[in-house]
Structure 1
Amino acid sequence: MNDFGTAERIAQIKAASDRLGELIADLTDEQARAATELPEWTRGHILAHLGGMGPAFARQAEYALRGEQIAVYDRGPVSRNGLIEANHDKPAQELREAFARGSETLYAAWEKLGEEDWQLPSPYRGSLLATQLSYWREVELHAVDLGLGYRLDSITDELADHLLQFLAVRLPAGVTAVPSDGGPAIGDPQATVTVRGTRRELAGWLSGRPAATAPTAEGAAALPELGDWP
């Protein structure tokens, strides 16, 4: 999509949150307690996290419009983690409602932003645009983590491209990743190891949410170990 921009991205984010809502529509309390591939996190932890992220990012927008800045969570990671721990074992219906309510709060705050407002400063990665991109990533990747049938094979081209650019820093020195279905290579231009795959396969590998098929490595016996999440 050559004219892909803020409006198109927000449309994709709203579609992603609607899809996640459909995935959890019939989730039972027992299923909400089930473990996920994320260490020590159940589905309830994921939903509590997403339910808190919407209001947290909404207030970033509200304060930025007033020319002010505020922490994403009042006490940083301690507050974020405390909210997740306090809410993860709530009934599935309450988790669903919190996610839907949080998303609605966020979208209502975003509707007040003009195109130039996305460059307003925010403590979260520097600008309001960073909160928009983060919510896009989080809703889509955690939809995969829920283990309810959604996979990275289904993500849009635009999200796949964004994930490759955002996660390129995870590639170690001497490694480049080359999309086989178009798009620029990422990583070390002087690489001795080349990882090839579709954009979705590479995005899955870099994000730790593998697609149906994995990329392949040339110049190494196995896919290289990745660095920290940015």
Structure 2
Amino acid sequence: MAKSRQTLTSDINVMQRESAMAMATISSLDDDELAAPTACEGWTRAHVIAHLAHDADAMANLARWAVTGQETPAYESREKRDADLEASAKLSAAGLAAALQQADARLLAAVRALKDGVQVETLPTLLSGEIDVYSLPARRTTEVIVHHDDLGTTWEWHEADPDAVLDAIEECVHRLQGHPEGPGLQIIAREGEEWTVGDGSTRIEGYYETLLPFLARGQVGAGLRYEGELPRLPPW
């Protein structure tokens, strides 16, 4: 993602919009509905919501590190992250919604502070390698809209802001380009953009709202055009 201090305000606005839409969905779920399975293998809705809350705090840690220059890793370790997730997933629906709302507020304050300048511009992460700190709002937005769909409610991809979907596509492309099992793809958006993964051997074409479901979750909608057999994508 080509993000900078100049794009922060608009990126934060998009993040807030998508977070509010996800919160509206999550707040409508009761305890029984949280036990339903999701598109994330082995995770219930409660796990997905808990992950969103912990992810917000992890990104807030990175934003504070960038501003202060004092090392604050996103997570202490994978083991601690996984243990905290399991514990949070046992909260009630109201407790999980409150935890996510509070984490979103902490993240918002942290990324807003980036507007005043940073001491560190690139930071290490467990899953994405080195990232540009100014990309944090857009990365968060990607997590929110992908996991919003994972919840399996009435929300649909086309309800996301087009800028959010474009950023999410670029994040998916970046992940595939860096994944050892990333397939060869030539990705054509009818809105005008093009991306290449690997040797570009398989061409796919569609509007943003059709490309993102495939790139993020392997979902093949009616509007996706492709030549030959679609490759299996590595997990998110």
TM-score scaled by structure 2?
0.84
Within the candidate set 54, 60, 63, 2:62 is matched to 60
Q: Give 1:217 deviation, angstroms.
A: 1.4
TM-score scaled by structure 1?
0.86
**Whose Rg is larger?**
1
Runs in 1 of length 4+ with deviation above 6 angstroms?
none
Query: Which aligned pairs between 1:203-218 and structure 2 lie closer than 5 A?
Result: 203-208=212-217, 210=219, 212-218=221-227
The aligned counterpart of 2:83 is: 82
SS of structure 2 residue aligned to 1:194: strand
- Between the two structures, name the one with larger relative contact order (CA 8 Å, sep ≥ 6): 2
- Rounded to whole Å, the distance in 1 between the matches of 2:103 and 2:96 is 10
Deviations 1:152-176 (A, max 9, x none): 1222222222233222253623x31
Contact 1:45–1:85 (CA under 8 A) maintained in structure 2: yes
**Equivalent pairs: percent with the same residue?**
21
Deviations 1:119-154 (A, max 9, x none): 623223333224323211111111111111112122
Q: How many residues align?
A: 221
Deviations 1:72-96 (A, max 9, x none): 111x211111111111021100000
- How much is the aligned-residue C-alpha RMSD, in angstroms? 2.3
Contact 2:68–2:118 (CA under 8 A) maintained in structure 1: no
Query: Which aligned pairs between 1:14-163 and structure 2 lie closer than 5 A?
Result: 14-74=16-76, 76-114=77-115, 116-117=117-118, 120-124=121-125, 125-163=130-168
SS of structure 1 residue aligned to 2:74: coil
Unaligned ranges ≥5, structure 2: 1-5, 177-181
Unaligned ranges ≥5, structure 1: none
Within the candidate set 161, 167, 172, 2:172 is matched to 167
Within the candidate set 179, 182, 199, 2:208 is matched to 199
- Rounded to whole Å, the distance in 2 between the matches of 1:204 and 1:118 is 36
